A and B are shown apart, each in its own frame.
Chain A
Amino acid sequence: MKTIERRVRFWAMLFCSALASWVILLVSCFAPWEQGTLIVSLLLLSCSFIFAVLMWKAYQGLKIARLILENQLLCIRPAVVMKSEGDARSYTQKGGLAVYVSYFGILLGSRIIKFNQDGIRLRAVEIGPDSLLLTYGDGKKTESIRLLRAFLNQNEMKEITEKFRYETGVTPLITD
C-alpha cells in the first residue's frame, strides 16, 4: 500500500516539476520564441502530459487498493522473519507480504488484482487446507491465483465461506 502511495507521489512530483518548468520557461522567455525554446517547451508539455497520465493511473490503483483494504474479506498475514544481531534480544522483521482479499480484488503488497470491476468477475473460490484458490476473468480470459496461508480451523473456514458467499455470491468449494 505504501509503495502504491509512493508511486502516486512520485508521478505527481514529476508532473508538477515538468509543468512548473514549462511555466517558468513561458514566463522567462519572451515571444517570439526561438526554435530551441519551442522544442524544449513542447518536450516539457509532452512530459507533463505523460506524467499526468501515469499519475492518474497510479491514483486509480491507489483508489482500488484503498477499496480492497476497506472491504476485506480475508487478510493473510505474512510469516514473520525475525533476525537477531549477535546477543541482542531485539529482533527486526525481514520480508513478508500481507495479502488482502476483498469483493473488489486482491492486494498483494503493491500488486493489485481486480475483480468485480471492469467486466472481470470472480468465478470460483476453492479453500484448501493451506491455500486459497481464486479464479477470475471476463468472458474471454480466465486466470487463477493460489494464496498460501496458515491452517484454518472449522469455524474459521465456515466464516470465510459465508463471507465470500454473502459478498460475492460465489460459494467457496472446500477441498481436502
Chain B
Amino acid sequence: MTKFPLKTGNLNERVLSVVVFSLLFAWVLAFPFEGQILYALTGVYQIEPHHMVFGAIAAQLGGLFLGGFFIKTIRAAKRFITGAVLFCIALSAVFLLGPSVFWLPALVAGSFLSGGSVAAWGFYFRSGSRKGQRIKTAADGLAYSNILMILLNIIAVYISPELGLIGAMLCLVLALVFLRKLPEDDCTSASPFQVQQGSPVSMAKPLAFLCLFVVIITINSGLMYQVQGPAFSHLKWLTGWYWAIPYIAALMIVRNLPEKTNRSYLLYVAIAMIGFSFIFFWVLDRSAPSYLVVDTLMLGACGIYDLFWWSILGEMLDFERNAAKILGIGLSANVLGVLLGGTIGNAITTAGLSGSDATLLALAVVCVTLVLLPPLHTHLTMLLKTHAFLTVFSALPQQEQNDRMQRVAVFTVLSQREMQVSALLLQGKTYKVIAGELFISENTVKYYVKNIYSKLHIQSRAQLIELVSKQKNAIPRP
C-alpha cells in the first residue's frame, strides 16, 4: 500500500518547502500579522493601526479557513501560492507610496492571500516529510520564519520602516524563486505515502476538537498582545528583537527531544508557564529584567503549544486527501484564538481599568482557559488515538482483522455475532453502516453495542479501542 523511496524522506523537497514557508511566513509575521513593520509605518505617519491590524488578522483567518475549500491539488496549491506571492509583493509596494485609502484594502487582501498560501503549503508539508518527521519540519519553518522576522523588525524599528518593508518584499521574491523548484505534480512529488482513499474514518471530529483546543489556548496569546505588550512599549530597544527569542528556543528544544519522549507532559509545563507569566506580570515592575521574565515564560509556552498542534496537524494530513483543508482549518483556529484574545484584551484596556485590574482580569481569563485544558487535552488525545487506531485497523485485510480480534482475551465472552459487531465498530463504522452490512435494524445494532459494552465493562467505542490496544500484538503500529 505505501512506498518509501528513501528511508529519510525526500530531503530536497523538505528543505525547499521549509525555505518557501519560512520566507512567506516571515513576511506575514513582520508585516500584516501585527508586524513591527506595519506598526512602524503607521507610527511614522501617525495613523491609528488597530483597525488595520484587526482587519488583517480577520482576513488571515478567512484565507486560512477557506483556502482548503478552493485548493484541492498540489498543482493548484503551487499556482495559488505563486499568484498570491506576486500579489502580496504588489500590495506591499502600495505601502511604499505613502498613506492612502488603498492601505487597508491592500493589507486585507494580502493577509487573505497569504492565509490561503499557508493553507496551500499543507500539500508540501505532507509530501516533503514522512510521518513522524513533520514536527521537525514545522519547527524548522516556524523558527526560521521568526528569525527572519526578527531581522526585518530590527531593520524596520532601528533603520527605516520602508527598508524593513523592502526586506520583507525581498523575502517574497526569494520565496517565489524557491517555489519554482517545488514539484507540482502529485505523481512526481516524493510523497512517501498513499493517502487513505475512501476511508470510512472521518477526520472531522478530531479536527474540530483540536480547533477548540487551539482556540482556547491561543486566547492567552491574544490577551498577551493587548495587555502585556503595551505595558512594555517603552522598552522598544529590547522588545523589538527579544520578543521571539524564547519562542524560537522552545521550538528548537522540543524539536530536538528524543523521539520516545512523551511530549504531552510539556503541555502541562506550558500551561504553568503561561500562568506564571501573567502572575509575574502582575507582581513585577515594568523594567527590562521583568520583561525578560514575563516574555520568556509566555513566548516559551507559545512555542511549545504552536509546535504541538502544528505537529498534530502534520500527522493528520495523511488521513485526508486535501492537505490544504486540514492545515488551513487547524491554523485558522490559532488565528481565531488570537483574535478573540485580542478582542478581550482590547475591551479590558479600553474599559479604562487600572493596570493591576486589567492584569487581574486577564489572569482570570487565563485561569478559566487553564481549567478547561486538561479535560480537553485528555479528550483530544483519546480522539486522536482512536482515530489513528481506527484508520490502521480498517486498512488491514479482513482475515487479519479477525485474527487480531481472536487474540484479544477479553473478547472470549462475546458471541460470534457480537464479535462481528465489535469488528465493525473497530473499523470506525457508524451504527447505520453496521446495520446495513449485517442486514439488521439500527436499533438492533444499538442494543448489541450496549450489550457488548456491558459484557466488557466499558462505556464507549474509545474504551473498546483502548482495550484492544492494550493487548500486545493486537494491532500493528502505524
Contact = CB atoms under 8 A, between A and B. Distances in A.
B184 interface: no
Interface stretch (B173-181, B328-336, B442-450): B442-450
Contacts of B450: 117
A165 B414 CA distance: 11
B416 A166 contact: yes
A139 B451 CA distance: 15
Given A63-B443, A67-B443, A67-B444, A169 B416 contact: yes
B441 interface: yes
B350 interface: no
Nearest to B448: A103
A168 B454 CA distance: 14
Nearest to A102: B444
11 contacts: A66-B443, A67-B443, A70-B443, A70-B444, A116-B451, A117-B450, A166-B415, A167-B416, A168-B417, A169-B414, A169-B415
B415 A71 contact: no
A167 B444 contact: no
Given A63-B443, A70-B441, A165-B415, 17 more contacts: A66-B443, A67-B443, A67-B444, A67-B447, A70-B443, A70-B444, A71-B440, A71-B444, A104-B447, A117-B450, A117-B451, A119-B454, A165-B416, A166-B415, A168-B415, A169-B414, A169-B415
Contacts of A67: 443-444, 447
Interface of A: 63, 66-67, 70-71, 103-104, 116-117, 119, 165-170
Contact of A103 (B417, B441, B443): B417
Interface string B432-458: 000000001101100100110010000
Nearest to A63: B443
B406 to A, nearest CB: 14
Contact of B417 (A63, A66, A70, A166): A166
Interface residues of B, number: 14
A71 B418 CA distance: 14
A109 B29 CA distance: 74
B419 to A, nearest CB: 9
A104 B418 CA distance: 12
A167 B413 CA distance: 12
Contacts of B414: 169
Nearest to B455: A121
Contacts of B416: 165-167, 169
Interface in B34-81: none
Nearest to B417: A167
B203 to A, nearest CB: 34
Nearest to A167: B417
Contacts of B444: 67, 70-71
Nearest to B443: A67
Contacts of B454: 119
Residue among A104, A119, A169 with most chain B CB within 10 A? A169
Nearest to B413: A169
A103 B447 CA distance: 10
A66 B441 CA distance: 11
Contacts of A168: 415, 417
Given A117-B447, A117-B450, A117-B451, A167 B441 contact: no
A161 to B, nearest CB: 13
A105 to B, nearest CB: 10
A38 B447 CA distance: 44
A167 B451 CA distance: 12
A92 B441 CA distance: 35
A66 B414 CA distance: 23
The 3 closest A-B pairs by CB, nearest first: A169-B415, A166-B416, A167-B417
Contacts of B418: 169
A169 B441 CA distance: 21
A117 B446 CA distance: 11
B456 to A, nearest CB: 13
A175 B416 CA distance: 24
Contacts of A71: 440, 444
A169 B448 CA distance: 13
A113 to B, nearest CB: 15
Nearest to A163: B417
Contacts of B443: 63, 66-67, 70
